[in-house]
Structure 1
């Protein structure tokens, strides 16, 4: 009886009806969830990445606005020079 039970433990039946030896899979059989520290670090890394992306987009917006402001200042300078030359 013990031998038959051992046989059942070592082999399992495939859906097609043939037997295949059971091969233990370390990663499947010994799954351990991530530790609290790993989880915390992954959350911190994700938040840091989102913050960096947001800061970068804000910096790009500021650069665009600064460029528009510089162009507007240049146009104002041209207009002032034209008005001064007309006098």
Structure 2
């Protein structure tokens, strides 16, 4: 019983980690890519990468996705849209 609970808690913790930007798939959309879109994609990709790294370190050290817990935003949806738009 304890083992099952521990495994479930660990799986939930790992699942709540931010996805690194290079693993986010583009979401197809017909909007044109602007220079502002490219700048925004670069900015939020940096934030997403830092949050994913902090989550990984936090899970390794204390078992919690620290990056997501302390205010690191998850921009997965927006990154996917901008990748689909800007290729």
Q: Normalising to structure 1: TM-score of the pair?
A: 0.32
Kindly name which structure, 1 or 2, has the bigger radius of gyration based on alpha carbons: 1
Higher normalized contact order (CA 8 Å, seq sep 6+, divided by chain length)? 2
Q: Normalising to structure 2: TM-score of the pair?
A: 0.32
Larger helix share, 1 or 2: 1
Larger strand share, 1 or 2: 1
